[in-house]
A and B are shown apart, each in its own frame.
Chain A
């Protein structure tokens, strides 16, 4: 599973795209958030972050699979 990174999360995690280990089983947005916070504790210093699935904000219960476009959305600051 791959996760697109933007803004500060690219810097905190030191990569453009996060690739999860192949054996790693992730079924929901919540599981992905927890995995990220475990592997990259510095992500816990952010206000919060959201996960987008196929370019839509997704809530914690949303199921995810590798075939979807998954992105990590740190706090937005446009305008």
Chain B
């Protein structure tokens, strides 16, 4: 079973509840949060923009690939869009499997590939400037 969402706000307890499964002995929940610094400067906030229909398709593909590679009972991929303050969750990857090894491996695969492929863009707001992350060499 899989659940893929683009949302304004992430409710972590809701995510954890959804991942519960009587056959799953391991639940891995990776949470990506807004960090208060980048390039040794204080970050004020972040803004996320997405090409929504394509982002959903790319996440669906990654989820399908993960479910082929690992015996996953439940898989969750959720990314927030819009303005995010320091400490807020922006991405959640959840995997529920019989044994922990598969949950760790699948979660690692999903977050790494999400960062490589899913068309979502992050803008960092500093006190004196804004930067689209990864855009320039």
Contact = CB atoms under 8 A, between A and B. Distances in A.
Interface residues of B, number: 29
B90 interface: yes
B49 A79 contact: no
A50 B10 CA distance: 29
A26 to B, nearest CB: 20
Interface stretch (B15-23, B67-75, B108-116): B108-116
Interface residues of A, number: 20
Nearest to A71: B51
A78 B121 contact: yes
A76 B120 contact: yes
A4 B49 CA distance: 13
Contacts of B48: 78
A45 B118 CA distance: 22
A7 B135 CA distance: 9
Given A77-B120, A78-B115, A71 B135 contact: no
Interface string B72-101: 000000010000000000110000000000
A74 B91 CA distance: 20
A52 B57 CA distance: 12
Interface string B30-62: 001000000000000000111101110100000
Interface in A5-32: 6-8, 11
Interface of A: 4, 6-8, 11, 45-47, 52, 55-57, 71, 73-79
